[in-house]
Structure 1
């Protein structure tokens, strides 16, 4: 029986993998490739737990290839670099996000939008150009092409900064692209979870008035007193929604559950923008008259390329923006996944890989 490419790689690695749609993770031995001329080898210290990890672990999207080692919010320290690598050296603090490769020649790549490359290589549950399967950051080490390695700012905490590599850029990229950063404008954030709480912080850093829009009244105190939102809108309260119609310039919708867009569009001013970054598993109804009569726009966005992700990290470091996290040991990951299903976390789990391995 022929060996798969990843089994022919020389460097033994250790991680935690799921073998079937139960999504249960357990210890897993595999191999990483040799550090090539353009590669950076990284000792993983922390890895965030993204909601997409949950979907892929359980094959909710029908695209999972088992065994799967999740994790694309990776922070660690460089252990070695290839001869062509000049911007990193052993000992540097670095991050790795959602992708680790792209064709580097298509129109998207030439515009530094590698995250839209049709041949992009995801950090896990994907395949490298040599055919080897990619395994993510729930592991002790990773080898990544230097183009997709990010310098992690010295003043950004490694643990609380890790989720920015997905949650942070998922919010930052559409805010920049769609021009949702004009100081003094009014931003609505739909949903107060892993993405939403970062959106509140980024919105305030850009000088926006921020309103959290949620179905849960109990989140009001958290949104305003702890996260710094200016106001709170209960989307299930018809009177509140009516009073707020036509008052918001931009809305970022972070909700992946199926929900109505019409009430959200009604909140927008003339020329308002609604950008969705959630991934509902069923189509949503889009009321065209609301767009036409209010010259409103609906758009979407898919994380960001390396250049923009680095820009986001530097911005967050400058403004002291981190994710609110619960730090866990690797032994607790299955319990954490069960809690994530119930949305029982404020607001992101981060695995302490380095100390877990010491044990």
Structure 2
């Protein structure tokens, strides 16, 4: 294919004037301005009607490009517009020929075409909104100190609850307050109440918020124990079930039915002369197990209770021998017990020197 044949396939060419582009602010604006000039001519009044689809067919400019070009011409005072009601994509326009002629004679060039200074390059336009140095969150707090105190309480609350990202959770609460959101945490903070206290609900199966009745909890623990779960797993699963309101409510209703049945059976048994009717293990009163009690038992197990046969047993109130203490100090639990006993009984005459139990040094 020859060059002439290629050009024939492109259709009719359109005129483009570089001087008009400099006056209007760009090539696209110049094409739209020249199209309007051809249609407007010297007619009076100079208003003409443009159809964006027709201009696209004649110039190849999209509707968006046409609208931006008309806005650019209007900002320079070269174009006036008035909408046509009921017709989308159709507008009446008029070029201000006097201002356009003045722009052509003055040789005005667009800002983007300004010659570049090799020593002082053009300043780059900012791509982000400038924030003042003293910018602060705007919210219901009266001072930055009050906001800081509120944030610290939020962080402590998030840590106690075991949240994965305490700082991120805290930011969401504070950011919501800046946008006018209501937060019960702020109300609790201003009223000097523990955070989260107003959001806690005491359920029917709880003796206090978050603490279920011991018999109800033990009943659920025994359910998992009977299914073959280890005790520690049974406790964990039972407490997880009772933290789910819907599931716990259903379990509570079943538990009450069971209690009512057991009470009826106990009343019948008493009427027949039985003094102590049977109750399931979950209804047996059990003392709470504490860490101190467990540690004391474990220390008793790890501490030697018998002496070698060659040595006579000490008196009940006699202090342990140095060998006994040194042997007990070798295990982690025994080490803790020995340290505690030596602090409570300095009269024994022993102390820990270089991580070993040795007789106390004289002063």
Please say whether Structure 1 and Structure 2 have the same fold, judged by a TM-score greater than 0.5.
no
TM range (shorter): under 0.3
The structure richer in helix per residue is 2
Higher relative contact order (CA 8 A, sep 6+): 1
After TM superposition, the score normalised by the length of structure 2 is 0.18
After TM superposition, the score normalised by the length of structure 1 is 0.18
Asked which structure has the greater CA Rg, the reply is 2
